[in-house]
C-alpha cells in the first residue's frame, strides 16, 4: 500500500498534458461501458417501468393526482420526461442516470481542480466514471443515486467557492430527490456554526420545495404532498439493516429494540464532532471541508438504523476526491470500494464472497483513518 501512495504522490508532482484523442477515447469507453449494460432490468428497474407505463397511460400533470409511486416527485418528473424520449422504455429511464453520472464526474473535476492541475482533476473524474459501484448502480441496476449525489457535489463545490446560497440551494434539491442527502447535513450545520452560512440562505429550501410542488399543486395535491411522501418512505423499511456493511449488521435485534438508540447515538457523535471542529478554531480549508464531508457520509450510514446496501454511495464518490487531496491515504477509497462492491455482488448476483459482518470492519477502518487524519489537522 505504501507503493500505491508513493506513486500517487509522484503523479501529483509531475506535469503533463493529455492528448485530446486520449481524453475522447477514455470518455467513449465510459459511455459504451454503460450502454452495454443498459438492457438489463432488475427488480427495481421493473418497478420504474411500471411507473413509466402508468405515467404514459395518464399523460399530463394530472398523473400526480394518483398514488402510484413511493419515490419523491423530482424523479417522477424525470420519468414524465422519459415518456417523451423516442427510445425503448428501459433505455429512456436509464438515460437520466447516465447523464447524471457525467454531471457527477464534472463536479469531481471542478473540486479536485481547486487543488491540482487539470490533468489530475480529469484523472479523478475518470476514476469515478469507472468505479464499479458507480457504473453498475446507474447502467446495470438502473438506480438514481448519481442524481442526488450530483447535487451534493454541486453543493460542496459551491461551499468551496464560498457561494453559501447556492450551496444550500443545491443541497435542498438533493434532499428533495433522496433523503439520503441527510448524510451531508452535518457539514452544513458546521458551516452555519462557523458563520459561513447566512440566515437568509435558508430561504433556498423554501424556494426549492415550492418549485417542486407546483406540478403536484396543479394536479390537485396538497402543499404538504412531498412531506407526506417522506413520511411514507420512512415506514417502508422497518428493519435494522438491509445488507449494509455497518454497525447494525452486528446486532441481532429489531428496529424497535435498537433503532431509536442508534439514531440518538449517531446524533450525539455528529454533535461531538461539530463541537470539536468549532473548538479547534482552525480555518475551514477546502481540505478540511472534504475530510468532514467524507467522514460524515461514512459515519452516519455506519451507525444509523435502516440502512441499505447503496447508502454508502456518497462516501464512495467523496473518497476519490479525498485520495487526490491526500494521496498517502489512498487506502481509504480502496477499503470503501471493496466493501461496497462486494455488497453489490451479494445483492445483485447472490455471490456471498464476504459477509456484510466482515465488510463492516472495512468501513470502520476507513472511518478511523479519516477521523484520525481530521483530528491531526484540527489540533
Q: What is the pLDDT along the chain (379 residues), one digit of tens a residue?
A: 555 555 555 555 555 577 888 999 999 999 999 999 999 998 889 999 999 999 999 988 989 999 899 888 999 999 999 999 999 999 999 999 999 999 999 999 999 999 999 999 999 999 999 999 999 999 999 999 999 999 999 999 999 999 999 999 999 999 999 999 999 999 999 999 999 999 999 999 999 999 999 999 999 998 988 888 887 776 666 778 888 899 998 987 788 889 899 999 999 999 999 999 999 988 999 999 999 999 999 999 999 998 988 999 999 999 999 999 999 999 999 999 999 999 999 999 988 889 889 999 999 999 999 999 999 999 8
* Residues 124 and 227 grouped into a single domain: yes
Q: How far apart are CA 52 and CA 315, in angstroms?
A: 30
* Residues 58 and 134 grouped into a single domain: yes
CB distance 55 to 71 below 8 Å: no
Q: How far apart are CA 157 and CA 139, in angstroms?
A: 26
Q: Could you tell me if residue 15 is inside a domain?
A: no
Q: How many CB atoms lie within 10 A of CB 265?
A: 15
Per the document, the length of the chain is 379
Q: Could you tell me the residue range of the domain that residue 99 belongs to?
A: 20-235
* Residue after which a domain boundary falls, among 235, 250, 272: 235
Q: For helices 225-234 and 203-218, what crossing angle results, to 10°?
A: 100
User: Is the backbone of residue 243 left (phi > 0), alpha (psi -120 to 50) or beta?
Assistant: left
- Give the total number of structural domains in the chain: 2
Strand (E) or helix (H) holding 241: strand 241-242
Backbone φ and ψ for 238, nearest 5 degrees, come out as: -85, 10
**Grid coordinates in use for 356?**
456484510
* Residues 265 and 218 grouped into a single domain: no
**DSSP class of 233:** H
* Residue after which a domain boundary falls, among 188, 207, 235: 235
Q: Quote the pTM value.
A: 0.93
* Residue after which a domain boundary falls, among 186, 219, 235: 235
* Residues 324 and 217 grouped into a single domain: no
Q: How far apart are CA 254 and CA 277, in angstroms?
A: 34
For residue 84, the SS3 value is coil
Q: Could you tell me if residue 4 is inside a domain?
A: no
178 closest CA partner among 70, 269, 293: 70
Amino acid at each position: 500500500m505504501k507503493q500505491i501512495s508513493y506513486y500517487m504522490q509522484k503523479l501529483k508532482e509531475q506535469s503533463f498534458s493529455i492528448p485530446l484523442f486520449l481524453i475522447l477515447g477514455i470518455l467513449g469507453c465510459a459511455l459504451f461501458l454503460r450502454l452495454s449494460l443498459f438492457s438489463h432490468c432488475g427488480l427495481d428497474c421493473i418497478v420504474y417501468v411500471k411507473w413509466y407505463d402508468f405515467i404514459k397511460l395518464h399523460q399530463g400533470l394530472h398523473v400526480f393526482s394518483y398514488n402510484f409511486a413511493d419515490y419523491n416527485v423530482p424523479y417522477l418528473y424525470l420519468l414524465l420526461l422519459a415518456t417523451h424520449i423516442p427510445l425503448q422504455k428501459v433505455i429512456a429511464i436509464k438515460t437520466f442516470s447516465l447523464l447524471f453520472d457525467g454531471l457527477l464526474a464534472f463536479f469531481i473535476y471542478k473540486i479536485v481542480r481547486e487543488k491540482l492541475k487539470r490533468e489530475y482533476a480529469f484523472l479523478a473524474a475518470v476514476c469515478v466514471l469507472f468505479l464499479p459501484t458507480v457504473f453498475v448502480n446507474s447502467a446495470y441496476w438502473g438506480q438514481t443515486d448519481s442524481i442526488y449525489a450530483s447535487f451534493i457535489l454541486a453543493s460542496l463545490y459551491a461551499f468551496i467557492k464560498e457561494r453559501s446560497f447556492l450551496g444550500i440551494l443545491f443541497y435542498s434539491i438533493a434532499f428533495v430527490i433522496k433523503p439520503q442527502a441527510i448524510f451531508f447535513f452535518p457539514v452544513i450545520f458546521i458551516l452555519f456554526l462557523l458563520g459561513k452560512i447566512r440566515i437568509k440562505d435558508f430561504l433556498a429550501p423554501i424556494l426549492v420545495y415550492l418549485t417542486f410542488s407546483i406540478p403536484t399543486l396543479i394536479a390537485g395535491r396538497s402543499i404538504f404532498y412531498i412531506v407526506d411522501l417522506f413520511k411514507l418512505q420512512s415506514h417502508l423499511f422497518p428493519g435494522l439493516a438491509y445488507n449494509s456493511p455497518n454497525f447494525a449488521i452486528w446486532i441481532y435485534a429489531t428496529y424497535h429494540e435498537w433503532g431509536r438508540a442508534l439514531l440518538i447515538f449517531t446524533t450525539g457523535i455528529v454533535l461531538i464532532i461539530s463541537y470539536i471542529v468549532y473548538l479547534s478554531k482552525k480555518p475551514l480549508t477546502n481540505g478540511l471541508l472534504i475530510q468532514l464531508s467524507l467522514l460524515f457520509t461514512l459515519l452516519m450510514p455506519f451507525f444509523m438504523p435502516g440502512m441499505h446496501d447503496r447508502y454508502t454511495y456518497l462516501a464512495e464518490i467523496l473518497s476519490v476526491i479525498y485520495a487526490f487531496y491526500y494521496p498517502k491515504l489512498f487506502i481509504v477509497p480502496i477499503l470503501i470500494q471493496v466493501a461496497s462492491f462486494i455488497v453489490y455482488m451479494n445483492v445483485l448476483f447472490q455471490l456471498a464472497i464476504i459477509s456484510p459482518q466482515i465488510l463492516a470492519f472495512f468501513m470502520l477502518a476507513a472511518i478511523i483513518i479519516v477521523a484520525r487524519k481530521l483530528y491531526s489537522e484540527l489540533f
